[in-house]
Structure 1
Amino acid sequence: MPSVRLAACVGVIMYLSYAWGHAAWSNLALVSVSVIVCLLLPAYSRVSNRVEELVNHRWAVVTFGRLGRFAAQYLFNVAVFGAFLAGGVVPDAGFRGLGGVAGAALLTTLASQGVQYMALALYNRGVGDQNRNVLAALSINIVATALSTTGAPLFRHVMVIMGCGFGGLVFGLGVLSDLRGHWFPRRGIGVFFGTFNPFHVTHVDIIRQALDGRGLAKVIVHPTVVPRLHARALEKGEIAIIGNDGGLDVMERTAKADAHVNYFPTGKRFYPPQTRRALIAIALAEAGLAGRVEVLWLPEVYRDHGFHGVIARIRKLHPGVPLHGLHGSDLGGMWVRSIYDECGWIYPMPVRRRNNVSATAIRNGAAGMTTPVVGEVIARLREGVASFATAGVTFQNSNGLLSVRDRHDA
């Protein structure tokens, strides 16, 4: 499994770096900590991810989420360096020039967050593989930290520069993003990305808030086609589409799946992309927003470059116009927020999720969370009706793939 291999590589690199730097090849504390890292790194990663997710959901502030992740990683590094000091892996003098165990943990945590952010940003832009990028980032940080504890002034200076530079970068970008969310021009256009599985009343409310509260000329909505996580996992055979249930494609793990990867953070059942796009258009028309909202559909651009490519296309079509990035505080919304931030100067519009409206609940049969016609269409899809008419439109349903067969306006 990729996550297990990644953990094993990190543990081995940690052992080799400190064993070589301090001639501690047979040190029991070093061997023990390295083995623990090999075994527990995937679980630790899940915990730190969950901490960041919970903080983001509560406040929708990027800086707070990163501080939550930082705290979890900092405590882990304090424990590791404390064990190294107590076990004689690194002498007290090795940490003294870095501010002691606490200072060394601070620097390596800041550097780690920064280099991992850069590694994932490159992956999101199609450069490299996610696991290999993260492994390279962690390896650089581990080796640099180990060398800095040898007492050589050059390596200590490098560690300070890495910690302050990379840490300052990731937190600085987050602070700037949060500030743009509070101070923004009351003009321009909004972009709203997500799976919209399906589009519900909270999505409609977010768009209204953006149009009216920020004085936007329009909002551009683009749903995911096949999310990159799923596209890559399907290609590798780690997940598979096992059937269709009530218009929803059902996905499941295969024997090749990585036990430590959450392939389905927003659920295992998805309406086909064309159906989600159609439901968005129906909801916007019902809400009287069709003239103020554009449903953009660039499947080839999304396939090749993801939402980064979609934003680049929007910027090309609207040069010099301020862009406002709409998103919720849920996991999917904060993922989208990270894309906005990676694409440059976009003014985020975070909306904290406090109601009980949920796309998951809708997929599980909840009513009253969509606009009326969307709710009726979903009900017909759930029943498996091949053809049905509502609101002056006849729809065709082909295993959940929704299309308009005829319009008969009065």
Structure 2
Amino acid sequence: MFRLKIKDHLSSPSVQLGAGVGFLMYVSYAIGYQAFASLELICLSTFIGIFIPYYSKFCNRLEEKVNLHTAKISYGRLARFLPQLLFNVIVFEFLTQSDVIPVGNIQSLGGIFGVALLTTLASQGMQYLALALSNREIGEKTRNVVIALSINIAVTAVATLGFPAAKLIFLVSGIIFGAVFFAIGFLSDARATWFARGGVGIFFGTFNPIHRTHLELMRKAIDQRSLQKIYIHCTNIPRLHSKALDSGEIKIARFEHGMRVYETTSRADVHANYFPTGRKFYEYETRLEMMRLAIAEAGLAEKVEVLDMPDLYEQGGFYSILSEIKRKHPGVPVHGIHGSDLGGMWVRSIYDESGWVYPFPVVRKDGVSATAIRNGAADMTTHSVQKMISVLRDSKQLSTHTLS
């Protein structure tokens, strides 16, 4: 078992990328400063190569935790920024104390703190781009962050050599990436506080299944924002799962009470989070019917429209759905409803990346969860949905199914 775990880690793309980052750091500074025999540089590069996948996951989880309690994009990003700034200060202090980098080379960049600040700003901006790509199903979250970090390490190493052009590129990229990174968050949080009234609302998610908090969020948005209509759409098969199924990293282990139950395979990356919203998923058509039943029972049918656009979702996910809604309502304010949980904040990122959407965030504190419902909790959804779930459970549908 221990030997198997070591093999899983060594074969992990994230671990291999991390090792590549450590090697890149060593080569960048060793070539630039002729420090191939520096034991300090070798040790630091080795540590970073091993540590980066864990650091990436730590930053993701820290941001998610802050988001959960605040629903503020800016606070979450600050939580991601500060640990990396501290870490970079320690790294450059170590490199200068070890005489790998002459102190004079970084004085024009603001010394140890200045170069650490600039590289952190650039890194955070590049990580934001990496996460935006993963939201669009281009790459996996942790791996994208590792790649962004590696690019930043190479650029920083060249800048510390003292070449004027490299310094200028480093300064400009740090300021621009940092400014964009934080400005997008501040503007998003500002739109959540100062918003236009009227218009239409959008509400995206897995709705696996829809529950009472979803319905309450829609009622609040209609009342507080004077919305004419809310469009609600659920995921089909999440594209993260589609890609992982195609690559053989996950499989459908069985079908259980109307749900597909996923498991990882031996090809899975030990550092990848394949199931951020759980391993059990009701089929798309089932979730769609639950949404219609719940909205009708809640008396929201006149204000809430359940969209069914699987082909459009397949083309570009929720980005395509949102573009279609905007096309149907040109010039009308669009309000994006979401909770502060992981799935809700991912949806918030889609809203922010899709133009001028007014977020309608709600901090999740009520303990109602789709995961709990899937695990058997009662009284968290409407009577009609609960009845449908009971029918699915009583059907005792249980079969083993794997993908080759």
Given the two structures, how large is their TM-score scaled by the length of structure 1? 0.91
- Asked if 1:195 is matched to 2:202, the reply is no
Report deviation, 1:354.
Answer: 0.8
1:243 corresponds, among 254, 261, 271, to: 254
Question: Following the alignment from structure 2 to structure 1, what is the Cα–Cα distance between the partners of residues 271 and 137?
Answer: 23
Question: Following the alignment from structure 1 to structure 2, what is the Cα–Cα distance between the partners of residues 71 and 159?
Answer: 20
- Asked if 1:342 is matched to 2:348, the reply is no
Quote the residue 1:291 is aligned against.
302
Quote the residue 1:352 is aligned against.
363
Instruction: Write the deviation string for residues 91-146 of structure 1: whole angstroms up to 9, x where unpaired.
Output: 11123222222221111111011122223434544667767755553343212211
Are residues 177 and 220 of structure 1, via their aligned partners in 2, closer, same or farther at CA, if it must alter by over 3 Å?
A: same
Q: Is the 8 A contact 2:191 2:358 kept in 1?
A: yes
Q: Is the 8 A contact 2:63 2:79 kept in 1?
A: yes
Quote the residue 2:277 is aligned against.
266
How do residues 250-399 of structure 1 correspond to structure 2 at under 5 angstroms?
250-384=261-395
Question: Following the alignment from structure 1 to structure 2, what is the Cα–Cα distance between the partners of residues 213 and 232?
Answer: 39
Question: Following the alignment from structure 1 to structure 2, what is the Cα–Cα distance between the partners of residues 44 and 127?
Answer: 21
Amino acid at match of 2:218: I
Question: Following the alignment from structure 2 to structure 1, what is the Cα–Cα distance between the partners of residues 376 and 144?
Answer: 40
Question: Following the alignment from structure 2 to structure 1, what is the Cα–Cα distance between the partners of residues 377 and 288?
Answer: 20
Please give the secondary structure, in 2, of the residue aligned with 1:97: helix
State the superposition RMSD in angstroms: 1.8
Question: Following the alignment from structure 1 to structure 2, what is the Cα–Cα distance between the partners of residues 140 and 262?
Answer: 23
Are residues 130 and 262 of structure 1, via their aligned partners in 2, closer, same or farther at CA, if it must alter by over 3 Å?
A: closer
Q: Is the 8 A contact 1:22 1:89 kept in 2?
A: yes
Quote the residue 2:155 is aligned against.
144
Are residues 129 and 359 of structure 1, via their aligned partners in 2, closer, same or farther at CA, if it must alter by over 3 Å?
A: closer
User: Unaligned 5+ residue runs, structure 1?
Assistant: 387-397, 400-410
Quote the residue 1:17 is aligned against.
28
Quote the residue 1:106 is aligned against.
117
Please give the secondary structure, in 2, of the residue aligned with 1:264: coil
Q: Is the 8 A contact 1:6 1:131 kept in 2?
A: no
Quote the residue 2:6 is aligned against.
none
Question: Following the alignment from structure 1 to structure 2, what is the Cα–Cα distance between the partners of residues 253 and 102?
Answer: 43
Quote the residue 1:8 is aligned against.
19
Quote the residue 2:68 is aligned against.
57
Instruction: Write the deviation string for residues 305-347 of structure 1: whole angstroms up to 9, x where unpaired.
Output: 1111111111112111111000000000000000100101100
2:168 corresponds, among 157, 162, 175, to: 157
Structure with higher RCO (Cα < 8 A, 6+ apart): 2
Report deviation, 1:273.
Answer: 1.1
Instruction: Write the deviation string for residues 31-84 of structure 1: whole angstroms up to 9, x where unpaired.
Output: 111111111111111111111011000100000000000012112212221221
Report deviation, 1:218.
Answer: 0.6
- Asked if 1:38 is matched to 2:49, the reply is yes
Identity %: 52
Please give the secondary structure, in 2, of the residue aligned with 1:82: helix
Question: Following the alignment from structure 1 to structure 2, what is the Cα–Cα distance between the partners of residues 112 and 175?
Answer: 18
Quote the residue 1:74 is aligned against.
85
Please give the secondary structure, in 1, of the residue aligned with 2:109: coil
Amino acid at match of 1:157: L
Question: Following the alignment from structure 2 to structure 1, what is the Cα–Cα distance between the partners of residues 122 and 30?
Answer: 21
Please give the secondary structure, in 2, of the residue aligned with 1:220: strand
Quote the residue 2:9 is aligned against.
none
Question: Following the alignment from structure 1 to structure 2, what is the Cα–Cα distance between the partners of residues 136 and 271?
Answer: 34
Which piece of structure 1 moves more, 266-275 or 325-334?
Answer: 266-275
Report deviation, 1:8.
Answer: 1.5
Q: Is the 8 A contact 2:137 2:239 kept in 1?
A: no
Please give the secondary structure, in 1, of the residue aligned with 2:314: helix
Amino acid at match of 2:386: G
Instruction: Write the deviation string for residues 369-408 of structure 1: whole angstroms up to 9, x where unpaired.
Output: 001111111111112178xxxxxxxxxxx98xxxxxxxxx
Question: Following the alignment from structure 1 to structure 2, what is the Cα–Cα distance between the partners of residues 72 and 364?
Answer: 36
Quote the residue 1:393 is aligned against.
none
Amino acid at match of 2:223: D
Please give the secondary structure, in 1, of the residue aligned with 2:203: strand
Are residues 127 and 200 of structure 1, via their aligned partners in 2, closer, same or farther at CA, if it must alter by over 3 Å?
A: closer
Please give the secondary structure, in 2, of the residue aligned with 1:242: strand
Question: Following the alignment from structure 1 to structure 2, what is the Cα–Cα distance between the partners of residues 78 and 231?
Answer: 40
Q: Is the 8 A contact 2:14 2:146 kept in 1?
A: no
Given the two structures, how large is their TM-score scaled by the length of structure 2? 0.92
2:243 corresponds, among 208, 225, 232, to: 232
User: Unaligned 5+ residue runs, structure 2?
Assistant: 1-11, 400-404
Report deviation, 1:14.
Answer: 1.1
Question: Following the alignment from structure 2 to structure 1, what is the Cα–Cα distance between the partners of residues 134 and 372?
Answer: 32
Which piece of structure 1 moves more, 184-193 or 16-25?
Answer: 16-25
Question: Following the alignment from structure 2 to structure 1, what is the Cα–Cα distance between the partners of residues 151 and 278?
Answer: 35
Quote the residue 2:105 is aligned against.
94
Please give the secondary structure, in 2, of the residue aligned with 1:191: strand
Question: Following the alignment from structure 1 to structure 2, what is the Cα–Cα distance between the partners of residues 119 and 21?
Answer: 27
Instruction: Write the deviation string for residues 190-214 of structure 1: whole angstroms up to 9, x where unpaired.
Output: 0000011110000000000111110
